[in-house]
Amino acid sequence: MAARLFLLLAVLLSLCASAGAEDRDLDALIADPAEWPIQTGDYQNTRYSKLDEINTGNVGKLRPVWSFSTGVLRGHEGGPLVVGDMMYVHTPFPNTIYALDLSKDAEIVWKYEPRQDPSVIEVMCCDTVYRGLAYDDGLVFLHQADTTVVALDAATGAVRWQAKNGDPATGMVNTATVLPAKGRLIVGTAGGEFGVRCHLTAYDEKTGERLWRAYATGPDADMLIDPDQTTVLGRPVGADTGQDSWEGDQWTIGGACPWGWFAYDPELDLVYYGTGNPASWNPVQRPGDNKWSNSIFARDLETGKARWIYQMTPHDEWDYDGVNEMILTDQTVEGTPRKLLTHFDRNGFGYTLDRESGELLVAKKFDPAVNWAKGIDTDPASDTYGEPVRDPAYSTDQDGDGEDVVTEGICPGALGAKNEQPAAFSPKTQLFYVPTNHVCMDYEPFRVAYTAGQPYVGATLRLYPAPAGQGFEAEGVMGSLTAWDNLAGEIIWAIPERFSVWSGVLATAGDLVFYGTLEGNLKAVDARTGEELYRYRTPSGIVGNVTTYAHKGRQYVAVLSGIGGWAGIGLAAGLTNPDDGSGAVGAYQSLSRYTAAGGVLTVFALPG
């Protein structure tokens, strides 16, 4: 009896700990700067906070106030959620979840440990990362590496429902977060390097019932495309383009996985996201534009039907996935208010589109080293409107055979001028703050046969820093934090970094921009000038996303450190062959002189 009473009391206390947050809907939580209920902070992916207790005048006094070890030594991407008194922290595989009570010195209220077959690690292409949880209406949503979607009771950790979203035996896995919106949970997939046919799915948040599923390739019925109503740059898409732009049945193993971030416009009721690379990496083996890989989609939240599509890199020859976040802003263009979407693509171009119509307004290089294309045609009257103007010198099909011919000096490298690490936007400065990779590559394709569950890549890479003078005068610069004007398509300022900036960025009303480095430094810079105002060395390299919240009237900044991801795969997985990690092990070999594996959440505040 005593044991049962103790258990009942524990449950009641945990319910009370989250009281005051569960009775507010997600829109209200997002609007409250004290909370951080989804990974990107808001539906628009701005990663901007209205909190300003920490500002340019006092950030130099910031100090760590507590930390928490996750117990896992792989790449820690994403960040914690904060809802009321509760913080929810995730880990890479095996995707353990901790609920911490912030009112009780971060006491562990509950812990959820999924039971996953460890063989799923073998089909995760670029480390066992996970980009984090989402919260809505008393539920915490987890999408495990093995593609199991789980809804957990936020107060107790009890499983409310779970659904299988894919089959790891074919190479389909998950690394992305999910997006809850209006009772629907938007869920993606990964596995393009294994030739899977990927999809985006909506589940009912309360029951786990599958509401719709939209494939990235194939016939219109599978893709939820209306050939007369769905548009591409203002024109009807035409029938079965996701099938006919591939040779034969290549679309069935075409990849195009939505493993990045999702955005939502409540007024238009549209979900925005990007698709990944086509499979295989050898372009000769898949003639055609390979639609709709490397594309931006706008879909109706309720039905999943595609409103408009734009393909950034047709017939991708370089592994330039288009999955990076779509940032939604309302800005004035030439005197007219417009609803915009800004996207920093792996291919090195920063795109600004009208998110209602899909019209392309701006497409400029946000890394000066980019050379695979000379530009993007942004003239609506042109027959090549929206298409890249490629430089044939950097095609990876130099001999027409697609085998054993090395193309040298391609910029950016396959990990992109920017990877999944999300940028931020400040409505105060009207600038975007972009974490970049300043990296080039040599690319050697080879023929590869498809076998379900086996790598279907077909290329060997060598990655290295872009040459001096291509954006930065110093030798060995591999990344930057870049401030970008999305209307002019111009770099305002850029801070060079020794290694790629692989953390997500945070902008605040205190006129600050926070980001982390692969060496493990948390940095704060002036949002207007880029002047560094603060740095602190955390226990491991940072590939997580910086977040902020307020508790009992005090502002905090939190970040996960734990080296990994594609750039840190050598340290995370103990790899030493420079060719491993698609060339990343060799490119980031010197990183081992600055950091080591870890898994720690560090929380900062002003003295008080």
Separation of alpha carbons 423 and 432, rounded Å? 7
pLDDT of residue 6: 38
Tens-place pLDDT, residues 417-467: 999 999 999 999 999 999 999 999 999 999 999 999 999 999 999 999 999
pLDDT above 50: residue 174: yes
Cis peptide before 94 (omega within 30 of 0): yes
pLDDT above 70: residue 514: yes
Mean pLDDT of 174-201: 97
pLDDT of residue 179: 98
- DSSP annotation string for 443-481: EEE------TTS----EEEEEEEPPTTSS-SSTT--EEE
Cβ–Cβ contacts within 10 Å for residue 185, how many?
24
The terminus-to-terminus CA distance of the chain in angstroms comes to 44
pLDDT of residue 402: 72
Separation of alpha carbons 543 and 510, rounded Å? 23
Using alpha carbons, select from 363, 328, 362, 326 the residue that is nearest to residue 347.
363
Query: What pLDDT band is residue 275 in, cutting at 50, 70 and 90?
Result: very high
Tokens of 412: 């950016």
Separation of alpha carbons 333 and 329, rounded Å? 12
Separation of alpha carbons 5 and 11, rounded Å? 10
Cβ–Cβ contacts within 10 Å for residue 506, how many?
26
SS3 of residue 17 by DSSP:
helix
Mean pLDDT of 48-66: 98
**Which residue in the list 85, 153, 319, 511 is annotated as catalytic?**
319
Residue predicted with more confidence, 16 or 172: 172
pLDDT above 50: residue 15: no
pLDDT above 90: residue 12: no
Task: Look at 86-90, 120-124, 386-390 and tell me which has the smallest mean pLDDT.
Answer: 120-124
pLDDT of residue 401: 76
What type of residue is 257?
A: C
pLDDT above 80: residue 150: yes
pLDDT of residue 23: 66
Domain 2-605 CATH superfamily: Quinoprotein alcohol dehydrogenase-like superfamily (2.140.10.10)
SS (H, E, C) 556-585: EEEEEECCCCCCCHHHHHCCCCCCCHHHHH
Query: What pLDDT band is residue 20 in, cutting at 50, 70 and 90?
Result: low
Query: What pLDDT band is residue 1 in, cutting at 50, 70 and 90?
Result: very low
Mean pLDDT of 114-137: 95
Mean pLDDT taken over the chain: 95
CA 421 to chain centre: 5
Query: What pLDDT band is residue 5 in, cutting at 50, 70 and 90?
Result: very low
- Long-range contacts from 220-228, C-beta under 8 angstroms, 24+ separation: 223/292, 223/306, 224/299, 224/303, 224/304, 224/305, 224/306, 225/305, 225/306, 225/309, 226/305, 226/306
Helix, strand, coil percentages for the chain (3-state, nearest 5): 10, 35, 50
pLDDT of residue 400: 75
* Residue 319 a catalytic site member: yes
What type of residue is 503?
A: S
pLDDT above 50: residue 556: yes
pLDDT above 90: residue 13: no
Tens-place pLDDT, residues 193-208: 999 999 999 999 999 9
* Cα angle 193, 146, 424; round to 5: 70
Strand order in the sheet with 439-445: 407-410, 439-445, 459-465
Tens-place pLDDT, residues 70-101: 999 999 999 999 999 999 999 999 999 999 99
Separation of alpha carbons 276 and 222, rounded Å? 18
Strand residue runs (E) in 154-284: 159-164, 179-181, 184-187, 199-204, 210-215, 231-232, 235-236, 263-265, 270-274
Task: Look at 8-22, 200-214, 533-547 and tell me which has the smallest mean pLDDT.
Answer: 8-22
pLDDT above 70: residue 11: no
Residue 162 near residue 128, CB atoms below 8 Å: no
**Burial environment of residue 553 by CB neighbours within 10 A (0 to 12, 13 to 18, 19 or more):** exposed
User: Half-sphere exposure of 591 toward its Cβ, with a 13 Å CA cutoff?
Assistant: 36
pLDDT of residue 21: 56
pLDDT of residue 18: 42
pLDDT above 80: residue 188: yes
